Chain A
Amino acid sequence: MKEIDARGLDCPKPVVLTKKAMADNEEVLVIVDNKIASENVAKLAQKMKAEVSIVEESADYFKIIIKNTGEKVKSENNKAAVSHPSEAGKVYLIASDKLGEGEEDLGKILIKGFLSTLLDIKPLPEKVIFLNSGVKMAVLEKDVTATLEKLESAGVEVLICGTCLDYYDLSDQLEVGEVSNMYEIVNSINSSDYVRV
């Protein structure tokens, strides 16, 4: 059994030493001098799917035994999932109920034309996200709702900003699309090519 004395070491050193030892040894014994380090070492062991038991515990002495349960834990890869914008469709952010500056009526006609054209482009959009007054259109305009239904059935994700629905008091009228939150929306934009309309 590999023994590690991590007394006197600050976070994250006990965890780093334990992780290194677990890579080459089936059983590891770790000694730390505070409860925080013992909890952190136990967390690491659980994360790596090993058996862990704290065999001795006092105010400033913790003895932890870790047993790797056979399955070789693959080295953890903490890189974010990489998206490939060129292969996937784009994300469209619709933050208004009209397209462009100018006469309001024209803007409203254009945005509807824009949305229905999305059905014909290749590759299809990955997501269409509605924000602010865009939400009003997605809920209240029947022809837009019909377009969105077609997009959804073609596999396009239609996301509607929940805060905006609440703000315009439209939550109970939503027929098509999924209610989404800002975190999801920001993530969608960060992880792909996006177009703001």
Chain B
Amino acid sequence: MGPRALAQVLRRVNFPADPEKLLIGLDKADDAAVYSLSEELALIQTLDFFTPIVDDPYLFGQIAAANALSDVYAMGGQPILAMNIVGFPSCLEEEILSQILQGGADKVKEAGASLCGGHTVVDEEPKYGLSVTGTVHPDNLLSNSGIKEGDLILLTKPLGTGVMVAAIKGGFTSGDQSNPAVKSMLTLNNTALKFFEQYQINACTDVTGFGLIGHLLEMSENSSLQIEIDAPEIPIFEGVREFAESGLLPAGAYKNRDNYQKFVSESGQRDQTLYDLMYDPQTSGGLLISVAEADAAELLIDLYAEGLDVAVIAKAYQGEKGVKIKWE
């Protein structure tokens, strides 16, 4: 669903919430809910599922799981337990479902969590995802709020999975692991976590359905700072530019653009394709890590040494809330 339609639906519903215990709820549009269990322990709860984005069921299972697990990592937490959510047509071979579930199970194992059971319904189109529970020490909890003036924002995966998925569905490119975007989507977002205690990380989120701009706007909104994007630094997947120019932008990219562009200002000559890609909805996208300027270079080098395709893509300034794109 588009962000505007969803916001309208949610506005009409009263959700129960214990303000003492619920450290992060619906109000901040964060990646997951966080519930305080004790002074030393908070529970992170999240859920995500979607229809197949690649033909290979085992890869699809892995991607769906990496995507669901990412919300826990984006809060600075460690996943401990997961359950499956499955929709599956009665006309498809059961072997396909086994492979999807094996993909998910292997990813959860890689994350060091347990997976036990879930729920399956008959559905016209296959759907798969996970509900994931994680834990975090409340002192290490990271939200999409909390950016500080002068922070640099790192992006840990290139942009363009939405366009790439459209290109895969359209038969323009392959949907196997030779495709860098497929490889990226099934990569867990846990690599950055081990460095978080060494550096001053002020906020974190992952880039998903609302695109780079949508998620940066949430960060800006929740911390009342302006975020300036250094456009030439933004990494995009090989081939994605060509596909975006050929009209393979998913509907979500247009919805995000229509919804968010009024909060975006620009300086310099716009690169229209890169501009479109900044609104591209991402599946299992990278983390946006807001780090104190003094720590940014070292964190960047550490992540880079781990093999991440990471870049410093933005900086937080005192100023009007919103996102500014610097094209040159």
Contacts and interface: CB of A to CB of B under 8 A. Distances in A.
A8 B247 CA distance: 17
Interface string B157-174: 000000000110111110
Contacts of A41: 247
Contacts of A46: 245
Contacts of A39: 247, 249, 254
B310 interface: yes
A183 B233 contact: yes
B319 to A, nearest CB: 21
Interface stretch (A112-120, A147-155, A159-167): A159-167
B127 to A, nearest CB: 16
B238 A16 contact: no
Contacts of B271: none
Given A16-B170, A163-B297, A167-B297, A186 B247 contact: no
B92 interface: no
Interface in B223-264: 232-235, 238-239, 242-251, 254
B199 interface: no
Given A47-B245, A76-B242, A186-B235, A12 B304 contact: no
A65 interface: no
B289 interface: no
A181 interface: yes
B245 A132 contact: no
A95 B305 CA distance: 10
A55 interface: no
16 contacts: A11-B249, A12-B250, A15-B248, A19-B246, A39-B247, A43-B246, A43-B249, A47-B242, A48-B246, A78-B167, A95-B305, A163-B297, A163-B300, A183-B234, A183-B235, A185-B304
Interface of B: 166-167, 169-173, 232-235, 238-239, 242-251, 254, 296-298, 300-301, 304-305, 309-312
Going nearest first, the 9 A-B pairs with the smallest beta carbon separation are A40-B247, A43-B247, A44-B247, A167-B297, A12-B170, A12-B166, A16-B170, A80-B238, A15-B247
